[in-house]
Amino acid sequence: MAWINLTFFAEEKDIDLLSEALEIRGALSIFIQDKNLNNSDEELIFGEPHSGPNKFWATNQIQALFNDSVDIKEIQDELVSNFQDIDFKFTASSVSETDWVKLSQSQFKPICIKDRINIVPSWHKINNPKLINIILDPGLAFGTGAHPTTHLCTEWLIDNVSKEKKVLDYGCGSGILAIAAYKLGAKMVKGVDIDPQAIIASKENGAVNECNIDWLNTDKDFKFQADLLVANILSSALSVLAPLLASYCAPKGKIALSGILESQENQIKKIYAPWFTFEQTLKNNGWVCLSGVKV
């Protein structure tokens, strides 16, 4: 069995009508993502204040999957005719059943960070057992190691974790940073998140990697004084959570804040200044990780 994958770009205002038109014309699935995903122009909309469940990005990449029996040229012509204000630039490719799986998996390759940690999807072999290998498949929760902010936070953990440290991963997502801290030898690790799906994913990933980590939902009260606290979440959330995160950090403990664009660095530093003195900032492709010491 084979399919046709049709890809094009569109603005936010057209997404709903385009999705409806694609469904009417037989689209089996419609995948929408930020055109600028994983670069400095990426828009962080989901989870931001006032963003609704149907909000999309300013410019979106749309991928629609069809049975190969359809006339894809006819579908393209109909879209051009019905959406005359869109400058369509179509890419249509044939995808076999085997290729579709391979195509999906090929997007996620092992990621080596500072020659210390290797993040490996389960379908890849572990080629260097001397590294700390973390088995992690992409899923619904954020964090595969590919995004610059996850990469920066992992670098920070490599530089700061030691066997006597207690670590808190606030907004744990897939659990990758908590797992990295545990594998680096931290004395105790906790991971917390507001999303129940993230807790499920973190527990599964922790089990696969044989980690003894306490996973908690933020709706449950807990007391913890972390020597190292890492929070890789949206800048809007970081702004609101400053007093809470400070309360979870032990005196002279260290904090790593990411999910922050370079343009937002000074703003976040100013908000956290009552509690933390900031050290050198780590940077990657327009994103930053702020490192602070509690005063």
Q: Which residues contact 238 (CB under 8 A, 6 or more apart)?
A: 231, 245, 257, 259, 260, 268, 271
Give the per-residue pLDDT at 58.
82
CATH of the domain at 220: 3.40.50.150
Gap between the terminal Cα atoms of the chain: 62
Is there a domain that residue 138 lies in? no
Is there a domain that residue 249 lies in? yes
Residue 237 phi, psi (nearest 5): -70, -40
Give the per-residue pLDDT at 106.
63
What is the model's pTM?
A: 0.69
Q: In the beta sheet, which residues pair with residue 120?
A: 135
Mark which of 106, 133, 164 sits at the end of a domain: 106
Domain count, the chain: 2
Same domain? 165 vs 45: no
Please write the tens of the pLDDT for every residue from 35-56. Answer: 776 555 555 544 333 334 446 7
Is there a domain that residue 117 lies in? no
Give the per-residue pLDDT at 36.
72
Is there a domain that residue 123 lies in? no
Distance CA 274, CA 295 (A): 8
Same domain? 100 vs 179: no
Distance CA 186, CA 157 (A): 10
Low-confidence ranges of the chain (pLDDT < 70): 1, 37-55, 97-108, 139-144
